[in-house]
Amino acid sequence: MADTMQTNVNNTSIFDFHGKPPLAKALPISLQHVLAMIAGVITPPIIIAGVVGATPQEKLLLIQIAVLASGICTLFHLYGVWKFGARLPAIFGVGFAYVPTLIAVGGQFGIEGILGAQLIGGITMMVVGYFIQYIRHLFPPVVAGTVVLVIGLSLYDIAIRYIAGSGNVNAPNFGELQNWGVGLVTLVTVLLASQFGRGVVKLSAIIVGILVGYLIALPLGMVDFSSVASAQWIAVPRVMPFEMEFHSAAIVSMVVICVINSVQTIGDLSATSVAGMNRELKTKELTGGLLGNGLTTAASSFFGALPTSTFSQNVGIVAMTKVISRYVLAIAGIFMLLAGLSPKFGAIMTTIPYPVLGGATITVFGMITMTGIQLLTKDEMSARNMTIVGLALALSLGISAVPSAIAQFPETLQNVIGGAPIVVAAITAFVLNLVLPRKSLADEAREREEIAEADAEETAGDTGLKAEK
């Protein structure tokens, strides 16, 4: 027992969940997790603030509380409380997957309608989390892998837009060669560091790329420090900064997207355990992750933070680096916590130009896609499973590419599936997995043999009839 305790105390491995490496080694890897998630954290509140007509002060509040909630949520899931929390090397925070639904709800019912529906949606997620141990068999690798695969594929356009200069294709400098130059230099730096680097440089390839890209962008005038100058040093959030309103249409939309997000959480946590820890996700971890995500989503509504979710880009970092130390990710959570308490700190992080972020994260999005494929291959690639995956991809990405195709659908349905390919993919894969007959490769081979034998008998019979004639 003493030897075991001594081993745990001296465990400094970054490739062990309970490892506690030296701060100098952990910090660069932690920072790249922060840099990978920061844009995803602040973008939803910025978008929603515009939709609901928030004042500049309310907009800053929404951004601040989103960053703070992401830090608290990450730490909560890393260490857990009772049955709540995934206790996996995963980053949680205000989720981008909810944005289409939040835009629809916010446009009609305002921030008050969003927060009221979010409270109910969070409770729904906790119910799903409680019963997941009884229904987990409904989400085999073919379903979870499809969800992760679509998550990766649906992120590529974001990375390309960022490299081109902005999340908005109508931005004045969108697509300029200067943006592409900085983005591609950042991308090449990440590739060189990850493939030819050694030690900390190899493990911190993304942050190395961001630093190089940032230094190039500075003299080109691509870094804007105006938000840093105007940001406060300290700002403490308060309970109920906005009122809550409960509207049935808003609640239905939010409950549906929260249930769908639970499938994304299953996919992300599965990807984390498979790609980062080389093992299947445990039921206890999955239950804790869903219960915890539901709790943080519900609790966030009281402070003005938007719904929380796993961060797929950080799953990609774990898959690429294989660094699963809880201590490393906890530092990232603490950084987000500090950024939430100090808007000045958060403002500094938001000065990273879009091309730098895009060039650094596109490799991560590629890793998410490959993790989805890795999950899929844990099931047999039978004709049945290929049908499930192929149809889920075709419908989800097709509808996402042509949103006007569902313009005649009921508005609630448009709000649920419009612009969110993961929703269509999750529903399609889930339903097909339930209704299609389960056939293994051996079953399908046997079917072909039976068909071949029947054809041979039929041919022989026809030959005999002709001979008699």
Q: Is residue 400's pLDDT more than 70?
A: yes
Measured CA to CA, the distance from residue 155 to residue 160 in angstroms comes to 9
Which of 87, 1, 102 lies closest to 50 in space, CA to CA?
A: 102
84 - beta bridge partners?
81
Domain assignment of residue 8, yes or no? no
- Residues 6+ away with beta carbon under 8 Å from 8: 18
> Which ranges in 272-311 belong to alpha helices (H)?
277, 283-300
Residue range(s) defining the domain that contains residue 325 = 13-402+410-442
Domain assignment of residue 141, yes or no? yes
Contact 85, 269 (CB under 8 A): no
Banded model confidence at residue 121, pLDDT cuts 50, 70, 90: very high
Domain assignment of residue 452, yes or no? no
Domain assignment of residue 458, yes or no? no
Domain assignment of residue 365, yes or no? yes
Domain assignment of residue 459, yes or no? no
79 - beta bridge partners?
none
Which of 413, 398, 430 lies closest to 266 in space, CA to CA?
A: 430
- pLDDT per residue over 249-272, tens digit each? 788 778 877 877 787 788 788 888
Number of domains in the chain: 1
Q: Is residue 419's pLDDT more than 60?
A: no
Tell the residue number behind the tokens 């075991």, with chain if given: 4
- pLDDT per residue over 13-66, tens digit each? 888 888 899 988 888 888 878 877 776 787 788 778 877 888 877 877 888 899
Model's pTM, two decimal places?
0.70
Domain assignment of residue 460, yes or no? no
What does the mean pLDDT of the chain come to?
Answer: 82
Domain assignment of residue 455, yes or no? no
Banded model confidence at residue 8, pLDDT cuts 50, 70, 90: low
Q: What is the mean pLDDT of residues 438-455?
A: 78
- pLDDT per residue over 179-232, tens digit each? 999 999 999 998 898 888 876 677 677 778 888 999 999 888 888 787 777 777
Banded model confidence at residue 120, pLDDT cuts 50, 70, 90: very high
Determine which helix (DSSP H) or strand (DSSP E) holds 102, and give its type and residue range: helix 99-135
**Structural tokens at position 177:** 């060669």
